[in-house]
Amino acid sequence: MLPKSQVHTAIRPLFAACLGVALAVLIAATSGCATPDPVPEPRNDMTPPAPAPAANPYADQEYIERTFQWTYWRFDDITWEWSVRIPTALYEDYSSRPRPPTADYTLYATDDGDIEIIEDLAATLASYADSLELDEYERIHFIAAFAQQIEYAYDIDTKGVDDYGRYPIETLVDQHGDCEDSSILLGKILHTLGYDVVMVLLPDHMALGVREGSKFSGTYYEHNGIRYYYLETTSLAGRIGMVPEEYQGQGAYIYDFSPRPIITHEWTGQRTNDTYEIHVTVENHGQVEVEECSVLAGFYAGEDHFWHRVESESFTLAPGDAVHVTLTLPVPHTADTRLLMYIVQGDKAIASSTSQWFNE
C-alpha cells in the first residue's frame, strides 16, 4: 500500500493461448491545446467490478507476475494499479519470434495471441476512466498515461541492437521499452477499445495518431481523408496535438491498423565474370494474402531508368509464407551504378532496397 495515496486494484486471472502501403504525408499544424472541462472529484469507492473467472487453460504452468502502478496528473493524489499473470510460455514465444526488416510496426500490435490480456488491461483502464466520469477527450489522456509512465529504455541498452520491436506482452513483462514499444502497446489498447488510431513514423521517432474528436487541436495528419491528431506515448507532457519540439515540422509515414500483407525481403548477390546473380527471399508477415507479386531488379542508369532490367515470374504469398527467387543480370560496362530491387504488385512497388554504389 502506497502511503498518502488511494490505491485502486483490479486483479483478474488472465487466460490466453500463447499499411495499405504506408503513405507519406505532411504535417498540418495549428497552435494551442484545448483546455479540458472540469470534472467531479473522484469518489472513495471506485473499484471496477471484476468478471467471474473462466476455466484456466494454463493451469499447472509457470507464470510471470507483474504489477503496474501509475498516476494521472489531474488526480495525482490517487495511484491506480493493475496486476497481471502472464504465462511464461507465451512470453517466450513472442520473445523468440524474428524481427523482420519493416517499418510497419503494426505487425507487433495485430497478433491476437495476447488478446485476452490486452482486453483485460483495456477494460481496467476504461473502467477507471469511467469511474472518474471523464469525457472522451480526457478519457484518451487517462488511458495514455499508463503507457507514458512505462520506463523508457533504448534497444541498444536492453537488447544489444539498434532496433528491436517488442510485442505488447514483451513490454509488459520487461516493464520498459522505447517509443516504438510504447506506441505498439498503447495503439493496441486503444484499438481494442474501439478507437480509430494510426502509427505515426517520423524520421527518428514514433508516436500515435488519434482520429479527430471533440476539443482536439494542434498537430494532425491526414490519412485517407481523415484527420489523426498526434499523441505522444513516451511522456506525461504529451497531450493530443502536441508534438515535442525536436520533432515539430517533420513529415511522417502513417500506418493504420487495418488487416493487410506486410511484405519484407532480403537478398544476397554475387558477381561471376560478366553476370551478377541475386538470391531473394520475400515473406508476408501480415494478415492478408498478397497476389500477383514479382521481384524486379536492375542496375541504376539514371532517374527512372535501368540497365539490364529483369523480373521474376509472379507469385502469391499467404500470411506467413515465403518465396525464394533467383535472378541473373548481365553486369553493365560502368562502375558508376548500383543494384535496385523492388517487390512489385501490378504497377506499384510494395517494398524496395538498393545496394551500395559499385565504385565505392
Pairing of strands 151-152, 176-177: parallel
Q: Does residue 300 carry a pLDDT above 80?
A: yes
241: left (phi over 0), alpha (psi -120 to 50) or beta: left
Q: Does residue 136 carry a pLDDT above 80?
A: yes
Asked whether the beta carbons of 286 and 342 are under 8 A apart, the reply is: no
Kindly state the cell numbers that stand for 252.
511522417
Asked whether the beta carbons of 237 and 287 are under 8 A apart, the reply is: no
% of residues, the chain, pLDDT over 70: 83
The predicted structure's pLDDT at residue 61: 81
pLDDT, mean of residues 262-272: 93
Asked whether the beta carbons of 241 and 155 are under 8 A apart, the reply is: no
Asked whether the beta carbons of 118 and 170 are under 8 A apart, the reply is: no
> 327: Cβ–Cβ under 8 A, 6 or more apart, which residues?
277, 278, 280, 295, 297, 310, 312
The predicted structure's pLDDT at residue 58: 54
For residue range 16-66, list pLDDT tens digits in order: 333 333 333 333 433 333 333 433 444 444 444 444 444 445 556 899 999
Grid look-up 529504455 returns 153
User: What is the band of 291 on the pLDDT scale with cuts at 50, 70, 90?
Assistant: very high
Q: Which fold would CATH assign to domain 263-354?
A: Immunoglobulin-like (2.60.40)
The predicted structure's pLDDT at residue 334: 79
Torsion over CA: 187, 188, 194, 196 (sign): positive
User: What is the band of 3 on the pLDDT scale with cuts at 50, 70, 90?
Assistant: very low
- The rounded mean pLDDT for the chain is 85
In sequence order, what E strands does the chain have? Answer: 6-11, 23-25, 27-28, 63-70, 78-87, 151-152, 176-177, 197-202, 205-211, 220-223, 226-231, 252-256, 263-272, 275-284, 290-300, 306-311, 315-317, 322-330, 339-345, 348-354
The Cα–Cα gap between 52 and 328 comes to 62
The predicted structure's pLDDT at residue 218: 96
Kindly state the cell numbers that stand for 309.
532490367
Q: Where are the domains of the chain?
A: 6-256, 263-354
The Cα–Cα gap between 63 and 222 comes to 43
The Cα–Cα gap between 308 and 297 comes to 8
Kindly state the cell numbers that stand for 122.
483495456
The Cα–Cα gap between 197 and 29 comes to 18
